Structures are given as structure tokens and as C-alpha cells.
Chains A and B, each alone.
Chain A
Amino acid sequence: MKRTIIPLGPFHPLLEEAEFFELTVEGEKVVDIDLHVGYVHRGIEKLSETKTFDQVPFLVERICGICSTSHPLAYVQAVEDLAGIKVPERALYIRTIVAELERVHSHLLWVGLAGHFIGYDTLFNWVWKYREPVLDVFENLCGNRNHYGMMKVGGVRRDFSKDDFPFVHQVMDQTIAATEMLTGAVMDDPVLHARTKGVGVLTKEDAIGYATLGPVVRASGIPDDIRTDDPYAAYDRVDWKVVTYEGGDVFAKAAVRLLELVESAKIVKTCMDRLPDGPIATEVRSIPAGEGIGHAEAPRGEVFHYVRSNGKNTPERHKIRAPSYVNIPSFKATCIGEDIADAALISAAVDPCYCCAERMAVVASNGDRLGKGDDLVRMSREKSRRLKDELGQRTPLDKLGDSLKG
């Protein structure tokens, strides 16, 4: 059968036609995938060596806009590990609140985009509408909708006021209600099932072999979660559960994110109720020589930072490893053998933060270009349309979409 190369473009159809990765197809099936990176490489590890320890959080926050608090959190924990700094209780709870709010907004973002890829645009708009109040919460509590600048070595930079909490509770309750409604529709929708069940399966063996992280590994039934594997902030002080799902397919990955989203909103509420009084930071005069490891469970998985100090006021070496860097290579295991119309969805299911991992580039091995990323998203949406026509009736997600329009 004739082999053709299709460069798979951006994960988001509205972004620039950057070259991401190259799919080799035979007929309608993907037979190989080649991944290239390098577009967003900004040399942050080396840059970190030119910043003082307290400037670095602002630098690493800008590694990725969506998980922008996870990187500073992992970094400050690495320095605290290095220097044996104890963080006050109030700061630990505040860190937890910010980190979980981030998970809420990030997973909502993903659900919206996934909806768009499948063809449910009303849902994309609706979910992002529910995301806005979460960003308002960030603005109220931290001062900015994104890039909150909350983390510092020894604690947090800004205190929270109890006066803001009723609004936060209200937004979390709203989010939980909306997500539960959506999850109900998702679990029952036959078109969604047809598009996502058994699609892009990551087996337990591959999940371990590729050392995948976050919702990707938990959707393969493995309960890896840094919040329990190496507890930090206030996660060991509040009751919550690690969400896993069996199957390893796109459906499982969606289910994990939807269920986690609700769990995170609950953690935020609990932490607000239990927020202890006290200082928000330990004073830190200097960082001694030594090395430390800090990691955090970002919405996409483990963010890992290693910091080495030689006693000066800048890091001697700062190693950063983002979760998408580890998750994206697992496409080799999940995309090969699948329909080309499912490729966009399978890749989106990993929730690649390509600026974390650096964007992918395409290298056409024989120069043939059959289409762009937009075409792949279009193919995905058309497949849904065909399935809906075959079904001949409004699905639960359609009905939910109708009820939201009205």
C-alpha cells in the first residue's frame, strides 16, 4: 500500500502553522510518527544561572502560561530542599490553593479544546465561559489572571484575605455543578464514546516504559501522582483522592481530567476553610552550597526541578523537566495503528503543553505534504458528523449544548 506523509500541525487550529510532527500513513492508518522539537527553545536553564535565586521564579513562571505556577512551585521547593528551609503552614495551604485553582482552569481549557476537536463548539464556548470566573478568582487573590507571581523561596509572596473567600467558594461551587453536568453528558454520549473509547490506547506497559505522567498515566490505571508520591504543600493535610481510570484510551484521559477537576475544586474549598493563621514566608538571607530536588504535580504531570548552588546568589545549575516532554514521545505508542482522522484527538488527549516541551517541527522525508494541522482537526470533526448522522438523533452532549444556548 502506498505510504504517504502527513505533517501534523498545531494542536490548536487557530495557531500558526508551525511544523509539529510527521505522520506516515498507509491508506487511512498511521504507520509511523516522527517527532521534532526546537521552536520554543529559549535556553531557560542557562538563563537561570544569570538570575538571582529570587528572580528565578519570575523566569520559570514564563516557561508555560497554562501551568505557570507549577514551575515556580517546583523550583522554590528545590531550593528549600537544598537549604533545609521550613515553610510556614499558612504558606503551604496558600500554595495548595493556587496550585489546585491552576488545575481547575487548565483542565477546563483542555475540555473546551477537546470539545472543539470533536466538533462540539457550543461546549468549547461554554466551558471557556466557566473558566473566566476562575481567572477572576486568580485576579482577586493573586493580582493577575495568569502568571500569578505567588511563589517565593521560603513561602508565598502575597497573603490571602478571608473577605475574598465567599466569592471563591461560589465560583468553585459553580464549577463543580457545571462539570458534573458535563461529565454526565460525556459518560452517556454515544458519538463521544465512538470517537474516544478504544482510541489511542496507552497500555500499562507502555505507560511505564515511557515514564508517562499526570492524567496520561492515571488514565492507564496507574495511580502515580506527586501529591501522594512525595507530598508537598498541604496535600498530606487534607483529604482528597487520586483519580484513576482504566483503559488508557482518549475517553479515560478525558474522564480523569473531568473527575480531577471536581476533586481540585473541593481541595480549594477545604484549604480555604482550614487556612491557619501565621506568617506567609520564612526569611531567607542566603542560599548555602548544595543541591536540591523539587517537583510538583502540574495539570499535565510532574514538573521536575533540580538546583545546585555554590554559595553565590545565582544558581550554579538549574535543571528543568516539564511533563509534556515525557508524555509527548508516548505518541509513538498511541498513534501508530490508528485512523488518521483520530490523530488530532489522540495527540490532544495528552494535553501537550508544547511550550513546556518545545514545539514540534515537521521534517517531510520525501517532500510530500498532504495537509496541515487544520486539515487533521477538520477530519476529526467530520468523522463526528458522520457518526452523528448514522445515529440519527440528538445525543446527550447535543442536548446539553442546546440547553446552554437557550
Chain B
Amino acid sequence: MGLLKWALKKSIWVYHVALSPCNNCDIEVLDVLTPRHDVERFGIKLVGSPRHADALLVSGVVNRHVLPRFVELYHQTAKPCVVLAIGSCALSTTIFEPGYNTMGPLDKILKEIDPNAIIAYVPGCPPKPEAIILGAVKALSAL
């Protein structure tokens, strides 16, 4: 396990999962790739498939339609993986709580399908790119 953790710490491949976001968090995630923040210099890379991912960057509230698809996606993701909940919507149901399509906070739902899920929280609406990078780096060092 020590070697695996060391391998993960070298560089982190992330897969972006947008549940039902307003897209602000998603745009700030993209921002971290652009020249001002340039997160690739930290070895953080966005990949096109959850099967290659060390971390899932999740934004948006869990709603009825995305829930089964998210569960399937989580099962497909290689383990161990860190789920980085980006933004208020992923942290809790926030202002959408009484909504008829809202299913509940992400961490509660995730712990029901995997009690050992590793979840990191990056608060903000949206979190600034610096916060997202800090969140990713902290999650790395927590592994």
C-alpha cells in the first residue's frame, strides 16, 4: 500500500464529474488549467475516463436523474480514489435543499454506497481556482 500511495502522490489524474451544476465551479476548474494557474505544473492532469482517475472532481447537486449514473461512475473509478467535492452544491444541498428533484448531500449518498469513500471538501460558490488547487494538494497529502 505504501508504494501505491507514493505512486499516487507523484501526480494526480482527475476526472471531472458535473452532476447538476450551474457551471461556475466547472469553469473555475477549467481555469486552473489556463496559464495564470497552470495546474499541470503540479502534476494534476484532467483525463477523459474515470477508469484512469485518481480523483473525481465533483460539482453540482445530486438530483434524481444523475444519481444512478453517478453511482455507476463511482463504481467504474479505479480505487483508491479521492472524491473532491467542489463548491457548495457538492458539499451540501445548499439552497436547493427543498427542491423536488434534489436527492440529498453528496457525502451522505456516497457513504451509503462506499463507507470507506475518501472525500475532500472545497467550499465556495464557486471556490476560487487557488482554493481548488489547495484542496487537491491537501487531499494528496492526506492520502
Contact = CB atoms under 8 A, between A and B. Distances in A.
A43 interface: yes
A147 B18 contact: no
Contacts of B101: 41-43
A129 B34 contact: yes
A39 B65 contact: yes
Interface stretch (B4-12, B21-29, B108-116, B135-143): B21-29
Looking at A39, A44, A68, A147, the one whose CB has the most chain B CB atoms below 10 A away is A39
B55 to A, nearest CB: 14
A65 interface: yes
Nearest to B35: A129
A65 B22 contact: yes
Looking at A59, A128, A353, A354, the one whose CB has the most chain B CB atoms below 10 A away is A128
Nearest to B20: A40
A128 B31 contact: yes
Interface in A8-44: 12-16, 18, 38-44
Contacts of B134: none
Contacts of B128: 145
A284 interface: no
Given A38-B65, A145-B128, A146-B126, A132 B34 contact: yes
29 contacts: A12-B30, A15-B18, A18-B18, A39-B65, A40-B20, A42-B96, A42-B99, A42-B101, A43-B100, A50-B98, A58-B95, A59-B95, A62-B22, A62-B95, A64-B23, A65-B22, A65-B24, A65-B25, A65-B27, A65-B126, A66-B23, A66-B24, A68-B22, A109-B27, A125-B34, A128-B30, A146-B28, A353-B23, A355-B21
A359 B126 CA distance: 20
B16 to A, nearest CB: 6
Interface in B88-105: 95-96, 98-102
Interface of B: 15-18, 20-28, 30-31, 34-36, 46, 48, 60-61, 63, 65-66, 69, 73, 95-96, 98-102, 125-126, 128
Q: How large is the interface on A (under 10, 10 to 19, 20 to 34, 35 or more residues)?
A: 35 or more
Interface of A: 12-16, 18, 38-44, 46-47, 50-51, 58-59, 62-66, 68, 109, 125-126, 128-129, 132, 145-147, 353-355, 359, 361, 374
Contacts of A68: 22, 24
Nearest to B64: A41
Contacts of B15: 16
A145 B25 CA distance: 11
Contact of A42 (B34, B36, B102): B102
Contacts of B69: 18
A52 B118 CA distance: 37
Contacts of B98: 47, 50
A15 B20 contact: no
B20 A42 contact: yes
A245 B125 CA distance: 37
Contact of B66 (A39, A46, A129, A132): A39
Contact of A66 (B18, B27, B99): B27
A317 B82 CA distance: 41
Given A15-B26, A16-B15, 10 more contacts: A40-B60, A42-B61, A42-B96, A43-B101, A64-B22, A65-B24, A65-B26, A128-B35, A146-B126, A355-B21
A74 to B, nearest CB: 16
A125 B35 contact: yes
A14 B28 CA distance: 12
